[in-house]
Amino acid sequence: MQDEQLAKRFEADRPRLVALAYRMLGSPAEAHDAVQDAWLRLSGTNTDRIENLSGWLTTTVAHICIDMLRTRTSRREDPLDEPRLPEPLITQESSDPEEQALLADAVGVAMLVVLDTLTPAERLAFVLHDLFQMPFDEIARILNRSSTATRQLASRARRRVRSAPVPDPDMSRQRAVVDAFLTASKNGDLEALVATLAPDIILHAEADGEYVHLRGATTIAERAIAFSFRSEFARPALINGAAGLIVATEDEPIAVMAFTVVNNKIAELDIYADPTRLTMLTPRSSERPDPRPADPCAAMERCPFTG
Is position 166 within any domain?
no
Residue 294 has pLDDT above 80, yes or no: no
For 252-292, the pLDDT digits (tens) are 888 999 999 999 999 999 999 988 788 777 544 333 334 33
Three-state SS at 127: helix
CATH of the domain at 241: 3.10.450.50
State the pLDDT at residue 299.
38
- Domain boundary pick from 127, 161, 195: 161
When comparing pLDDT for 70 and 139, which is higher?
Answer: 139
Does 183 lie in the same domain as 139?
A: no
Residue 153 and residue 14 in one domain:
yes
Looking at the structure, tell me whether residues 156 and 36 fall in a common domain.
yes
Q: Are 112 and 28 in contact (CB under 8 A)?
A: no
Q: Return the CATH number at 123.
A: 1.20.140.160
Q: Is there a domain that residue 245 lies in? A: yes
What proportion of the chain, given as a percentage, has pLDDT over 90?
A: 51
Say yes or no: 134 and 249 in one domain: no
Looking at the fold, whether 182 and 123 belong to one and the same domain comes out as no
Q: Which residues of 64-85 are buried (b: 16+ CB within 10 A; e: fewer)?
A: bbbebbeebeeeeeeeeeeebb
Q: Is the pLDDT of residue 52 over 50?
A: yes
Whether 102 has a pLDDT exceeding 70, the answer reads no
Give the model's confidence band at 84: pLDDT under 50 very low, under 70 low, under 90 confident, else very high: confident
Average pLDDT over residues 56-85: 77
Average pLDDT over residues 160-188: 91
Residues 14, 148: one domain? yes
Q: Report the alpha-carbon distance of residue 237 to residue 91 in Å, rounded.
A: 6
Domain C-terminal end among 131, 161, 191: 161
| 12 and 157 assigned to the same domain | yes
Q: State residue 63's pLDDT score.
A: 95
260 is a domain residue: yes
Contact 274, 146 (CB under 8 A): no
Q: Do 213 and 265 share a domain, yes or no?
A: yes
Looking at the structure, do residues 125 and 224 belong to the same domain, yes or no?
Answer: no
The DSSP bridge pattern shows strands 210-215 and 265-272 to be unpaired
* pLDDT mean across residues, the chain: 84
Please give the single-letter amino acid code of residue 6: L
Give the range of the structural domain holding residue 93, as residue numbers without chain letter.
3-161
Question: Is residue 305 domain-resident?
Answer: no
As a whole number, mean pLDDT of residues 190-197 equals: 96
Burial bucket for residue 219 (CB in 10 Å: 0-12, 13-18, 19+): middle
* Cα dist from 85 to 62, 157, 201, 204, 271, whole Å: 22, 19, 17, 8, 9
Q: Are 289 and 237 in contact (CB under 8 A)?
A: no
Q: Are residues 292 and 201 part of one domain?
A: yes
On whether both 183 and 239 belong to a single domain, the answer is yes
Tell me what pLDDT residue 298 has: 41
The tally of domains found in the chain comes to: 2
Asked if residues 244 and 259 have their Cβ atoms less than 8 Å apart, the reply is yes
